[in-house]
Structure 1
Amino acid sequence: MASGAQTGTITTDIPARLDRMPWSRWHWMIVIGLGTVWILDGLEVTIVGSMSAALKPEGTGLGMSSADIGLAGAIYVAGACVGALFFGQLTDRFGRKKLFMITLAVYLLGTVLTAFSMNPMWYFACRFITGTGIGGEYAAINSAIDELIPKKYRGRVDVAINGSFWIGAAGGSLLTVVLLNEAIIDPSWGWRIAFALGAVLAFGILFVRKAVPESPRWLFIHGREEEAERIVSDIEGRVRHDTGTDLPAVDDDSIRIRQRKTISLVLIARTVFALYPRRTILCFALFVGQAFLYNAFFFTYGDTLTTFLGVEQTGWYLAIFAVSNFAGALLLSPLFDKLGRVPMITGTYVTSGVLLAIAGIMLGSFDAVTLTIAGAIIFFIASAGASAAYLTASEIFPMETRALCIAFFYAIGTAAGGISGPLLFGRLIDDASASGDITGLAIGYFIGAALMIAGGIAEAILGVKAEGQSLENIAKPLTVEDAEPSAPNPA
């Protein structure tokens, strides 16, 4: 298992000390500093979906067709896949903090350039750059959050944070109500201002993140145990101050690891595919289902309302849809710790898939209001399950591979479901628009339903009972196995 320069063997109780902490103001700082990235992603996706009509005119927009709108969504997702893989392996190698600062800067650059788009090709290129930053964020942020949040709260926090995507979606939807109002703002400037506002939000988040520490778990494995000890001691002091009480005693749960400065990609690949093949299949099924469902439906929903249902201002409809999604992730998230991962993920995936299939059958009978209500009900349930896909990938693989595993499954699942989805729906909209028959989109609903149900079945068969367990118990670090050879704990 030679995978990098060895720096020594240590025994540490840092994971147990982090996991036994009560919730405090310090943990809220982590949530705000790191979790806000999903607000940015929601803002980006919604702006594109809401502003499809504004991007189509030659004079004030960019002269794009519905297929071009779908292509832009696919390019954004492709950039996210590339960014996740590229920055994911750097996150495991160089640390969580360095990369979640760099990836946010990449996003900032991409969205600023988008505001200055002069033609569709420029716009496509900027969407790709923006996507690379967001994709890198998913890997770096999910890793850091799971490694800093106590095990008792990890499920609900992770699901709720991933669900905060919809705060950005709601905000983006309401922004477009104003920015696309020609009586208030010149239509040639409205959509550009929307992208510029995303950059302003990202710039503010950069300052908040400066206070977020590096993951102590990453530090002690990479030979920087003294720095890890200082950070954990500082966190303990802050939590005592915030709660006004002494911390609970540390369980006798120390681990012995052989430190390495780097972990080879060959070892990571062998870990994912050889040691954990069932978990690999599970994550692939979960990511493909939620990626197709969300990217196909939401990237093109504004265009659907405009093309088939006579809606000129889509912002209000998208805002209602977004609020329902966030409410689902927020309200259902505690159940992932109380009832458990397997029943909740299975239930949310299968139920939302069945409801989506029913909506596809009834598609011809919907108007704009009833379609939005149906979507709000379906995605209230689906949003919690989709957020749990990221939770699953971030907690069921060894720490040394965490960021890259998140990136890998995000990229593979999203490439399969998230790129094909917007392209398919964009083409379906173009083909059906000639006749004005919205039922031409039903095939996309049925595909999304089948993929979600398949993901739920995979969870029922292959799911891991990770609730309330330390990350190191769910999947032992590779360096623990290196120091004390043993079979991986299947939890």
Structure 2
Amino acid sequence: MDAPRSGTTIRTALPARLDRLPWSSFHWRIVIGLGSVWILDGLEVTIVGAVASRMIEPGSGIMLTAADIGTGAALYVAGACLGALFFGQLTDRLGRKKLFMVTLAVYLVATVLTAFAFAPWYFFLCRFFTGVGIGGEYSAINSAIDELIPARNRGQVDLAINGTFWVGSGLGALVSLLLLDASLFAPSIGWRIAFGLGFVIGLGILLVRRHVPESPRWLLLRGRAGDAERIVDQIEEEVRAETGVELPPPSYEIVIRLRQNIRYRDLVAIAFRRYPNRAVLGLALFIGQAFLYNAVVFDLGTLLSGVFGVSSSAVPAYMAVFALSNFLGPLLLGRLFDTVGRIPMIAGTYLGSAVLVAGLGILLRDGRLTTTWFMVLLLASFFLASAGASSAYLTVSEVFPLEIRGLAIALFYAVGTAVGGIAGPLLFGNFIHSGDLRLIALGFFIGAGAMAVGGLAELALGVRAEGRSLENIATPLTAEEADADPQQQGAIQAAREPARTTEEEHRAARERNMRILRRAAERAADERHGLRAVRPGPGCAFYSPGQIGTAGTTSRWAAASDEAMDREIAAIEGAVEGLGPTRRGALAGYAGGRFWGPGRFRRALRHAVDEGRVQRLSRDSYGPPRGRGTTRRAGADR
């Protein structure tokens, strides 16, 4: 195992190699092995909400009040915050894989012990350590996912994975519905089995995770370039065999300089001095979603029982419907975060949910809500809010450099959740305990205000991260250090532009560069008009506010992205020349567009038509420009 000393520089194309991969079964393994942890988090949160009404009843075996349920929820969140801070630093120091195995083990022990709770203090203690395990998962899992998923799919995949929280939530609600049936289980037994279920599911996830590799990007950071190369070689070999697609050459290389571990105080300095806008944005997004979600989800069971008179045995059914709405939000809207764009979608989901929650609070305060209409408004509000909440984790994991990614996720999750996630359940739980509709409505108004602040922060400070590599969004700190060396810069440029030996290659390169420059000029002219930041569509402004001192580096990755699009346009042009008049769906298949990522085939096809390289024959049919011959392949779909 290679372990170069601090200060050694490594030149590598591994990030570009990972981002160019087409979607394959390897990526599905990442989604299943790592993303399934949110099922556990959803299970934990919903079980408490679903069984809360039973746990405060006589004969439950543990006498809790509605305020105790809120306290337990707050301690769970406090444990998650401290777990994120403690394990977050270890994630960057010891590796993603070690930590997502350790944190899951902590969760397993704590949740099975909760099933044996006999007194409030014991219940509080178990909930705290269960939160510690879940909090540690956030930094390890989100870091690993973002570093292994191709840039073009990252938004959709991240939102879908975070949305699986609600799969666990729905599962917890449905199982609780059965376990709280007094004819099947005694009041003191059913809720205990519900907590034990988390242990069974977590154990299965632990077994699946053994096959998830360490992040090659993290291995590079630790100087283990040989291990990183072997992992990426294996992934590429598997992808080629599965898809039959020949992978294009990596479009850029980076040079990183090995350095010592970064402490929290250094992280804070880096975050708020070098990336002040991104730091404020991360806090606003996390605080907004944490307050609203933790306040409502932890106390929904007692709200339904105490305000609307829903029986404790029927509460899980309402929770299951609530979970379905929340899961559908990121699942159905996730693709739009990669096509319409991060800023309009994040701001829209935050502000839209704020308006709906505020309306719910007004109607509740005036006593004009039935149980049915309360649930209808709640489902609509959280359909949007769930996509927005998932995008908070996506944003923070994207916009900070490789060396501090785990620390950044932990810090912003912990601070944002501590402010919003602890205050929300405590405040809302006591409002519900009072029985005063005006106070309960005030809780909804505060939640709406917190979400509105997050939406406005996204409009003002958001980063157009869709379709861009992580190194493009936030240049690695060590890459910036290496870039200060002119010899290293020359080496990178030489690696990206190898010597050409024929006049034909020279001409092809000149034509490509002219096309890229023309598109860049058109893009710059377009972005000078209107509200560029919220204009729908994948972002192309590769230099973002707060990214100080990285313009030279980011320009290289901007050019790499433009070169990738030029290759995609050329693939469409070649497919049309070979096929003749072809329907759009068949053209995407022959050109390999289904592997490019959300919206990329449509965008490349539009540019090909605008540049006269492809002719649009009808609404759904394309062909070569007039006067250009074809070499039609057999079996083409006309």
| TM-score of the two chains, using structure 2 as the length reference | 0.74
Alpha-carbon distance in 2 for matches of 1:439, 1:368? 17
User: What does residue 148 of structure 1 align with?
Assistant: 148
Per-residue CA deviation, residues 200-244 of structure 1 (Å, 9 max, x unaligned), is: 000000010000000000001111000000000011111112213
User: What does residue 380 of structure 1 align with?
Assistant: 383
After superposition, where does 1:176-215 map in structure 2 within 5 Å?
176-215=176-215
What amino acid is the match of 2:195? F
1:163 and 1:330 in contact (8 A); partners too: yes
What amino acid is the match of 1:89? Q
What amino acid is the match of 1:358? G
User: What does residue 456 of structure 1 align with?
Assistant: 455
After superposition, where does 1:18-37 map in structure 2 within 5 Å?
18-37=18-37
Alpha-carbon distance in 2 for matches of 1:173, 1:368? 18
**Secondary structure, counterpart of 1:10 in structure 2:** strand
What's the CA shift for 1:265?
A: 3.6
Per-residue CA deviation, residues 428-474 of structure 1 (Å, 9 max, x unaligned), is: 01111xxxx53430000000111101110000000001111110011
After superposition, where does 1:332-343 map in structure 2 within 5 Å?
332-343=333-344
After superposition, where does 1:124-143 map in structure 2 within 5 Å?
124-143=124-143
Taking only the aligned residue pairs, the percentage that are identical comes to 57
Alpha-carbon distance in 2 for matches of 1:227, 1:392? 29
User: What does residue 470 of structure 1 align with?
Assistant: 469
After superposition, where does 1:42-61 map in structure 2 within 5 Å?
42-61=42-61
2:59 and 2:187 in contact (8 A); partners too: no
User: What does residue 165 of structure 1 align with?
Assistant: 165
**Secondary structure, counterpart of 1:97 in structure 2:** helix
What's the CA shift for 1:350?
A: 0.5
What's the CA shift for 1:266?
A: 4.0
Alpha-carbon distance in 1 for matches of 2:69, 2:262? 40
Alpha-carbon distance in 1 for matches of 2:363, 2:249? 57
2:547 is aligned with 1:488: no
Counterparts in 2 of 1:124 and 1:5: CA distance versus 1, 3 Å: farther
Larger radius of gyration: 2
User: What does residue 357 of structure 2 align with?
Assistant: 356
What amino acid is the match of 2:306? T
User: What does residue 290 of structure 1 align with?
Assistant: 289
User: What does residue 344 of structure 1 align with?
Assistant: 345
Alpha-carbon distance in 1 for matches of 2:5, 2:388? 40
What amino acid is the match of 2:394? L
Alpha-carbon distance in 2 for matches of 1:289, 1:300? 17
User: What does residue 366 of structure 1 align with?
Assistant: 369
Mind listing any 5+ residue stretches in structure 1 that lack a counterpart? none
User: What does residue 257 of structure 2 align with?
Assistant: 258
Alpha-carbon distance in 2 for matches of 1:471, 1:356? 34
What's the CA shift for 1:260?
A: 2.9
Q: Which moved more, 1:476-485 or 1:408-417?
A: 476-485
What amino acid is the match of 1:235? I
What's the CA shift for 1:107?
A: 0.5
2:342 and 2:463 in contact (8 A); partners too: yes
1:7 and 1:223 in contact (8 A); partners too: no
User: What does residue 321 of structure 2 align with?
Assistant: 320
**Secondary structure, counterpart of 1:476 in structure 2:** coil
What amino acid is the match of 2:389? A
What's the CA shift for 1:148?
A: 0.1
Alpha-carbon distance in 2 for matches of 1:168, 1:228? 33
2:240 is aligned with 1:244: no
**Secondary structure, counterpart of 1:51 in structure 2:** helix
**Secondary structure, counterpart of 2:256 in structure 1:** strand
Alpha-carbon distance in 2 for matches of 1:133, 1:407? 13
What's the CA shift for 1:53?
A: 1.5
What's the CA shift for 1:134?
A: 0.4
Alpha-carbon distance in 2 for matches of 1:10, 1:356? 51
What amino acid is the match of 2:395? T
What amino acid is the match of 1:158? D
Per-residue CA deviation, residues 93-130 of structure 1 (Å, 9 max, x unaligned), is: 11100000000000101101101111110000000000
After superposition, where does 1:407-486 map in structure 2 within 5 Å?
407-432=410-435, 437-485=436-484
What amino acid is the match of 1:66? A
RMSD: 1.4
Counterparts in 2 of 1:305 and 1:248: CA distance versus 1, 3 Å: same
Counterparts in 2 of 1:26 and 1:341: CA distance versus 1, 3 Å: same
What's the CA shift for 1:370?
A: 1.6
What's the CA shift for 1:345?
A: 0.4
Alpha-carbon distance in 2 for matches of 1:85, 1:40? 20
1:47 and 1:176 in contact (8 A); partners too: yes
Per-residue CA deviation, residues 246-267 of structure 1 (Å, 9 max, x unaligned), is: 223321x100111235334443
1:35 and 1:161 in contact (8 A); partners too: yes
Alpha-carbon distance in 1 for matches of 2:292, 2:261? 37
What's the CA shift for 1:367?
A: 2.1
Counterparts in 2 of 1:288 and 1:265: CA distance versus 1, 3 Å: closer
What amino acid is the match of 1:426? G
**Secondary structure, counterpart of 2:234 in structure 1:** helix
2:267 is aligned with 1:268: yes
2:108 and 2:202 in contact (8 A); partners too: yes
**Secondary structure, counterpart of 2:189 in structure 1:** helix
Alpha-carbon distance in 1 for matches of 2:179, 2:368? 31
**Secondary structure, counterpart of 1:337 in structure 2:** helix
Counterparts in 2 of 1:83 and 1:441: CA distance versus 1, 3 Å: same
1:70 and 1:300 in contact (8 A); partners too: yes
What amino acid is the match of 1:431? S
2:325 and 2:382 in contact (8 A); partners too: yes
2:97 is aligned with 1:97: yes
